[in-house]
Structure 1
Amino acid sequence: MTLTATRPVTRVAPGRSGARRTGRRWPLTVLLGLVSMLTVSPFLVMLVLALSPPRKPTVPRQWPEQLTFDNFAQTLSAAGFLGWTVNSLIYAGVSVVIILLTASMAGYAFAKKRFPGRDALMWAFLATVMVPFQALLIPMFVLVSDLDGVDTFWGMIVPTLANSQAVFLMRQFIRDLPDELFEAAKVDGASEWRIYWQIVIPLTKPILATLGVFVFLWHWNDFLWPLVIAQSDELRTLTVGLTTLKGDEHPLSLVMASAAISVVPCLLVFALLQRYLVNSIAMTGLK
């Protein structure tokens, strides 16, 4: 008869493991909290200045004694502010729709179609990302000027539609979709246009929403190209128009109120598409 020694079983209290995990995470939580405070602090200063009475352009060192919304009312009643906002919405909104449409089509072609020079063409198109926009500014302006596109909406929108980053993101996402879906659709007699609308578009909603947020922010905050191409006050975008408010004749609180209002559309777009943005990030790690 053989005797085997057994080690006593140590029982761990149910809440002890959770307490250990919480104890290990608190330094990371504190670090993230500090980074978040540093990130949000410029926006808080902007709001404090926007709610402060008109005064000299200085950064507030203490909480103001009086808060007022007169700066927001004065900004909204300004002659060109609403027009600048509408121009920015047109510039960003139209660009988002066209870029998502063309990038999804190009991404589907590069991901699921086979044609000579496909990979070489994709990498050549992607190599344009390395060319700085400042190097293309003068040739783009000369080309648009020869086509009578200066001081027009189409002259401001069309040159920004060739977005190689958007095509690359769509290609990477569509490439992971199962080929069996497209083969089954072809067996059923579906045309390429029907496959695109009923298979590609529904399955790529998360990445389309994410890309839509990025493209909207790029165009909403774009300054250099609208400054060059829009030469009249009627076609100014919000970013260009806000620069005209800087000066001694406009108090800093009024400029900060205008900047605070300009952030609202970006927050609304992010809030509306946040669910798809989180889904796209979660699906990125799934195979």
Structure 2
Amino acid sequence: MNCTRQAAYWQDNPQAWPVREIPAGDRVYRTRPALEILKQVDRTDLVAALAGQLIAAMLNIAQDADPGVIQDILAEADEWLVVNPPGSRPTGEAQTDHERIAARLAEYNHGQIGPGACVPETPRFTPTPPVTPTPPPSQPPSPTSSSTPTATGPVAEPSLTATTGSASTPSQAVTPSLPATTSAPSQTVPPSVQVVTSISTATSTSTPAPPEPASPTPSPSSTELPPTEAPSITPVPSATPTEVEPTAEPSWTPTPSSTPLPTEEPSPTPTATEIDPSLTSTVEGAARIASLAF
């Protein structure tokens, strides 16, 4: 490209050098020695300062920069370096020539003369390319809690309502409070069996039966009582008997009947007489025994 770059650029970017061998004076510098000379361009060492500006100009020319305006300066620079090799201390006229030649080469490398500086001018330090942040791996969506509300209040106890003229299982109705109940007439049962009814049936006047205490969590449907062996009950015409749960039959002792028990008929002639042992020790007992013997 037809533009120039200053010595600092070539010092910081050796990978951009178009050539690996640069002639300066009567020497040819390879990459490493040339880098060491470029680092001394701004120092008081006059030989190294002039050699560094010459190496930068040669790199620009190798990169297709037009050297027309500095052709005579390039020749003077080579001659000066031959007369003043590295390590020498130029004085007098040699020092004056050094200042003129070095200043002309610096103007060319900075683009003040010749084809001009490369645009945009590369800074002294090559910026580090920005690092593209790697997006974090997407997190799987966390499970959300169910929005179904949960009942936290107390569960209302169901009330049992009786239906008129039906012996079917009473239906359940959930109400905030238990309705007022009245006692229903109990069934007439034999005295020998005590039966406790768990569910009272409704009479013709639709009197509600007392509710059965419900469990804390009522079941959707009433549970039929387990079948047990129940005694025979004569139903009352005014009420329809419902399924009852008999309680344990109490133990009872039958009352002895008034019918006299049959007794054995006495034998016409007793063959033996039972003697009371308590009478044998007394005179009266002995006399009685004698009378019975005859």
Q: TM-score, normalised by structure 1?
A: 0.20
Higher RCO (C-alpha under 8 Å, 6+ residues apart) = 1
Q: Which TM-score applies when normalising by structure 2?
A: 0.20
User: Structure 1 or 2: larger helix share?
Assistant: 1
More strand by share: 2
